[in-house]
Structure 1
């Protein structure tokens, strides 16, 4: 991409508004997640309840997977995203009122978590499918990287901010979250409408399953999505970080906080780099190399007994994962017709969510069976095995040179 193209993205007003909305929603999510966790633990003192809150939030993504993608493709994506953000803001408002009246209960938090998760289940594929409608095709890979930087920035800063605010009382955490979501609503509604008319396809099981059928019919798309699923499923070591911080690296809670932030910090730095130096050639090879580096970094972290080397390994892991995510995100969106992007994004989102949730479960089970360090090493080696196997199973993906061969499937953004 030329320097002119990079400046064009920076001064592209719709994208700037989209990016700011992503910062607001990602920050709001991180703050409210930390606050709800603390609130629940103060109420019950039961660690299992913390896990159940996460499960309740994830459940709508499975229950409504077919519907979320169909809604994103059938209705105005700006309005759907704004409505979802408004609903999340209302959950924060409910928690503010409940905290002020001391009426928040365990059951209330579960209900709010389900509503919150439902809104996010509809928001995520809609917001992802919206991006190609507001940026030109040649700027799209850089836009994906810049959009990802919003999420990584929020992941680094917002959890600590949420914990600090909660120390002054629950309302201090939920209040800014409400403001962030309502600001995101205003930014989202200010985006330009999609010029191409929406196809008012009748809702049916066939239309809702179209995203799954499309992915299965495109070997390269299926290969990219499934590679991420199994690589993260096997290589994720996040669930075991408390054990490493306490028993292996011998640090306190501050060390655990740094370990949790390290992958996001590496990913953020890489997202900045990719926004200015986007990957344009040998995308398949680069993606597989990045997944391989992810596996090697997992192994390096697993065998480390040095706190600083562990931080560096996790930062490299996050940077490699960001390269893979940007390539996969841009490639899948560019290969998908605009009228299908919502449904394909919904399936992709379910794969990502499942890999993260099941990856933590897999890490816990293998650590229970073999020990903490062997579990991480098994995961890293498994990622390398999957990488090699996928190169054999999807040779056209491994040999792919560009994100997309033509722009025929791109949305309004190609003429923006």
Structure 2
């Protein structure tokens, strides 16, 4: 297959610019918030609460968001999502005003940050399903795997640069002006998005009762072994392997590398994942996908254990880099499974379930890591998470031979015939 097939569509290139700007802004914002909150509290549990504040609305709204996405026009819905994020980032910019700490108590500022993160969870519940659905309206089915790879690569590239720049910008220009930069990127995403025209609604059941729609979506996901297996495996691995949530603790109190070292640590997994994803455009991962996904999750657990035990900065960076590289394999395979096996009229609902399983498990993983660090100690909490990830991969490989033998070549051949 042509490794640049999806890039030959102008609208897809614009879409990648939108996704890059949004993910860059969102990932940078999360890092700046983490740094600010830990600086205010010096409590690892406060980092977990950030994740909890986002995951509560994201999970509670996810299925309803999927129903709405399947019923509405996707381009304008994405405009609304990005506009909502812009308002939140503007609020965080105002909350980080240097003079505000003199007139407001630290607790008031902290709770206000949590409130805006909570609102961001509602925005995120719509953002993922909308982006997933829009891709299918921009490129033909036969190049879904290639489009998914480029989209995921763009996501990872932004996830590299966002955290890295966040660490350096905190050091160079401070939290306040870092938030201003984030707001600027969200506005840039809006400008790019208006270059994509509105898209048709492909759902033949417009006006379907909401609970019937939700029931159909859940029934499809739980009835499809490939989708359900991939989501479950990734959810548990991310839930217990959420070591990145504790990076401010490692940077400030264990490795003693400051904000710039924090930025490098935070960017290392995404650098590894980006290299994997760019390589996968020439070396596709769809053959023996199940076995490759299980091996990737197992390797991820080993990397997290090494990172947790390391007291050397360079070893920690390498461990995080390799964790990102194998996580990139997992992400590509999961996205390819979703794109190939999801009907057009159910993309919003399936992507919402995906966000509940995988996306929200990042925040739940952050909360689990923060709570475990509070109870067990930071290093013990990270090592425990890595061990649980190993156990998950090993158990899945043993109890699910069907998933272990999963191969996506047949699905790709069928889509090529349809086009």
Q: How far is the alpha carbon of 1:41 from its aligned partner? A: 7.0
Aligned counterpart for 2:153 among listed residues 143, 149, 156:
149
1:275-319 deviations in whole A, cap 9, x for unaligned? 332223111111111112112222333444443233222211111
Structure 1 segments unaligned to the other structure (5+ residues): none
Q: Match for residue 330 of structure 1? A: 336
Q: Is the 8 A contact 1:336 1:409 kept in 2?
A: no
Paired with 1:15 and 1:217, the residues of 2 have a C-alpha distance of: 31
Aligned counterpart for 1:295 among listed residues 295, 301, 313:
301
Q: How far is the alpha carbon of 1:22 from its aligned partner? A: 0.5
Give the TM-score normalised by structure 2.
Answer: 0.84
Aligned counterpart for 2:17 among listed residues 17, 20, 23:
20
Kindly indicate whether residue 194 of structure 2 is the aligned counterpart of residue 197 of structure 1.
Answer: no
Distance 1:54 1:391, change over 3 A: closer
Q: Match for residue 192 of structure 2? A: 187
Aligned counterpart for 2:358 among listed residues 338, 352, 355:
352
Q: Match for residue 72 of structure 1? A: 69
1:271-290 equivalence runs, <5 A: 271-290=277-296
1:12-64 deviations in whole A, cap 9, x for unaligned? 2121111100111112213333455566678x657566654443333221221
Structure 2 segments unaligned to the other structure (5+ residues): none
Aligned counterpart for 2:132 among listed residues 128, 152, 157:
128
Q: Match for residue 178 of structure 2? A: 173
Q: How far is the alpha carbon of 1:380 from its aligned partner? A: 2.7
Task: Name whichever of 249-258 and 319-328 sits farther off.
Answer: 249-258
Q: Is the 8 A contact 2:288 2:407 kept in 1?
A: yes
Q: Match for residue 138 of structure 1? A: 142
Aligned counterpart for 1:161 among listed residues 165, 170, 185:
165
Paired with 1:247 and 1:264, the residues of 2 have a C-alpha distance of: 23
Q: Match for residue 119 of structure 2? A: 115
1:249-292 deviations in whole A, cap 9, x for unaligned? 56555444322221111111112111332223111111111112
Paired with 2:159 and 2:412, the residues of 1 have a C-alpha distance of: 35
Paired with 1:247 and 1:171, the residues of 2 have a C-alpha distance of: 23
State the superposition RMSD in angstroms: 3.2
Paired with 2:173 and 2:263, the residues of 1 have a C-alpha distance of: 20
The number of equivalent residue pairs is 408
Distance 1:28 1:376, change over 3 A: closer
